[in-house]
Amino acid sequence: MTNPSLLILAGDGIGPEVMAEVRKIIDWYGTKRNVTFDVSEGLVGGCAYDAHGTPLTDETMARAQEVDAVLLGAVGGPKYDNLDFSVKPERGLLRLRKEMDLYANLRPAQCFDALADFSSLKKDVVAGLDIMIVRELTSGIYFGEPRGIFEEGNERVGINTQRYTESEIERVARSAFELARRRNNRVCSMEKANVMESGLLWREVVQKVHDEEYPDVELSHMYADAGAMQLCRWPKQFDVIVTDNLFGDLLSDAAAMLTGSLGMLPSASLGAPMANGRPKALYEPVHGSAPDIAGQGKANPIACILSFAMALRYSFDMGSEADRLEKAVEQVLADGLRTADLLGEDGVQPVSTSDMGDAVVAALDASL
């Protein structure tokens, strides 16, 4: 049996620092759990532009198509702000998503009990929160045609087109229903069917997929603006939320802040199954490259660590090992360890990026 393959693209800013802590955990699994990965590395973003004049080489893109999963750190930084749009660091990430056809973006919003006081909402509203937003990632208003800025009479007009096909809605709906079956068996679909034809089609198709293929899963529908309000009022009413590209962008960012820190939030972008049955997949922390703290040991590696936990669960069918890693993170936080982004409690001293990674490894040792 061949080892599962993983391509690491650490990227820019704090990306290499947080990815170094994930490498410790990958090594731990090989040494202590006899779970070995074939790991290769490449460049993406600004560092790839510096080395090759492009944010993603064709060779790295081809490798990403071959491996079982890609783990990405972060891209970008102010030194690249004046580059032509076509070679900005972010274009490398967008190319990965588009060419791998990663249509389902999974963004969990989980609030660990030890961090419930960091949320802007009351503790009883967010303590124990564990929801998943499934955002359609490769279509919708960000990709629809026509688009652009045009002259119309004596003024300019900006145009973006919201466009979805039935098949695009069907496949992301199936991803949400399958995910719900592994969780609490509830899906809430969000759109604006009251004012948008694309929203009406979305609602009809999601309902059809449910009735024909997933009648065992509880399905509800909600207008996206009402959904945003309910996320702030009582987020624990939700389990899995499925929505389009634009609303998913907005709602997942709102849900992210319920947990208190972007440094805690992982994500997964999944595509169609490959020949081995595993979905094409890219895992990355939600946070950016944070160039202002790069190289200072202040970055929180937990989002990147939890992104690897998602890879264990969704790409490698190692749910029990994903649980082990997530519980190790929870234990470290319960023990009071905090990186700089999580300070705020009296008497708490920050630990470094490396110290946090070491603590998670120690908690993994204790789990054996």
Say whether 341 is catalytic. Answer: no
pLDDT at 66 over 80: yes
Q: Which of 27, 50, 101, 225 is catalytic?
A: 225
pLDDT > 70 fraction of the chain, expressed in percent and rounded: 98
Q: Read off the pLDDT of each residue in 294-308 and give the average, rounded to a whole number.
A: 96
Greater model confidence, 304 or 286: 304
Number of other CB atoms surrounding residue 344 within 10 Å: 11
- Would you place residue 263 in the very low, low, confident or very high pLDDT band (cuts 50, 70, 90)? confident
Domain shared by 60 and 178, yes or no? no
Say whether 253 is catalytic. Answer: yes
Domain shared by 129 and 8, yes or no? no
- Would you place residue 272 in the very low, low, confident or very high pLDDT band (cuts 50, 70, 90)? confident
What is the rounded distance in angstroms from the CA atom of residue 35 to the CA atom of residue 161? Answer: 46
Q: What is the pLDDT of residue 113?
A: 85
Domain shared by 83 and 125, yes or no? no
DSSP 263: G
CATH number of the domain enclosing 166: 3.40.718.10
Domain shared by 133 and 238, yes or no? yes
Q: Are 4 and 62 in contact (CB under 8 A)?
A: no
For 142, counting Cβ atoms within 10 Å of its Cβ (0-12 exposed, 13-18 middle, 19+ buried), the class is: middle
Greater model confidence, 138 or 119: 138
Q: What is the pLDDT of residue 38?
A: 96
pLDDT at 330 over 60: yes
Q: What is the pLDDT of residue 104?
A: 97
User: Is 114 part of a structural domain of the chain?
Assistant: no
Domain shared by 101 and 126, yes or no? no
pLDDT at 310 over 60: yes
Owning domain of residue 30:
1-108+263-368
Residue type, 173: A
Q: Read off the pLDDT of each residue in 23-47 and give the average, rounded to a whole number.
A: 97
pLDDT > 90 fraction of the chain, expressed in percent and rounded: 83
- Would you place residue 112 in the very low, low, confident or very high pLDDT band (cuts 50, 70, 90)? confident
Q: Is 216 helix (H, G, I), strand (E, B) or coil?
A: coil
Domain boundary among 193, 225, 259: 259
User: Could you tell me which residues are beta bridge partners of residue 283?
Assistant: 71, 268
Q: What angle do CA 200, 104, 307 make, to 5 degrees?
A: 145
Greater model confidence, 347 or 186: 186
Q: Read off the pLDDT of each residue in 249-254 and give the average, rounded to a whole number.
A: 90
User: Is 48 part of a structural domain of the chain?
Assistant: yes
What is the rounded distance in angstroms from the CA atom of residue 288 to the CA atom of residue 97? Answer: 16
Q: How many domains is the chain built from?
A: 2
- Would you place residue 276 in the very low, low, confident or very high pLDDT band (cuts 50, 70, 90)? confident
Q: Which of 253, 323, 355, 358 is catalytic?
A: 253
Q: What is the pLDDT of residues 101-110, one digit of tens each?
A: 999 999 999 9
61: tokens are 């893109």
Q: Which of 12, 68, 239, 249 is catalytic?
A: 249
Say whether 130 is catalytic. Answer: no
Q: What is the pLDDT of residue 1?
A: 67
pLDDT at 306 over 70: yes
Say whether 192 is catalytic. Answer: yes
Greater model confidence, 279 or 10: 10
Domain boundary among 259, 279, 304: 259
Q: Read off the pLDDT of each residue in 269-291 and give the average, rounded to a whole number.
A: 91
- Would you place residue 117 in the very low, low, confident or very high pLDDT band (cuts 50, 70, 90)? confident
**pTM for this model (two decimals):** 0.91
Q: Are 341 and 290 in contact (CB under 8 A)?
A: no
Q: Which of 24, 27, 142, 323 is catalytic?
A: 142
pLDDT at 346 over 60: no
For 197, counting Cβ atoms within 10 Å of its Cβ (0-12 exposed, 13-18 middle, 19+ buried), the class is: exposed
Q: What is the DSSP string of 74-99?
A: E---GGGTTS-GGGSHHHHHHHHHHH
Q: Read off the pLDDT of each residue in 166-180 and give the average, rounded to a whole number.
A: 97
Q: What is the pLDDT of residue 171?
A: 97
Q: What is the pLDDT of residue 290?
A: 94
Say whether 124 is catalytic. Answer: no
278: tokens are 């595993």
Domain shared by 344 and 284, yes or no? yes
Domain shared by 182 and 63, yes or no? no
User: Is 115 part of a structural domain of the chain?
Assistant: no
Q: What is the pLDDT of residue 347?
A: 56
Q: What is the pLDDT of residue 255?
A: 87
Q: Which of 103, 164, 192, 341 is catalytic?
A: 192
What is the rounded distance in angstroms from the CA atom of residue 144 to the CA atom of residue 164? Answer: 8
What is the rounded distance in angstroms from the CA atom of residue 315 to the CA atom of residue 322? Answer: 11
User: Is 311 part of a structural domain of the chain?
Assistant: yes
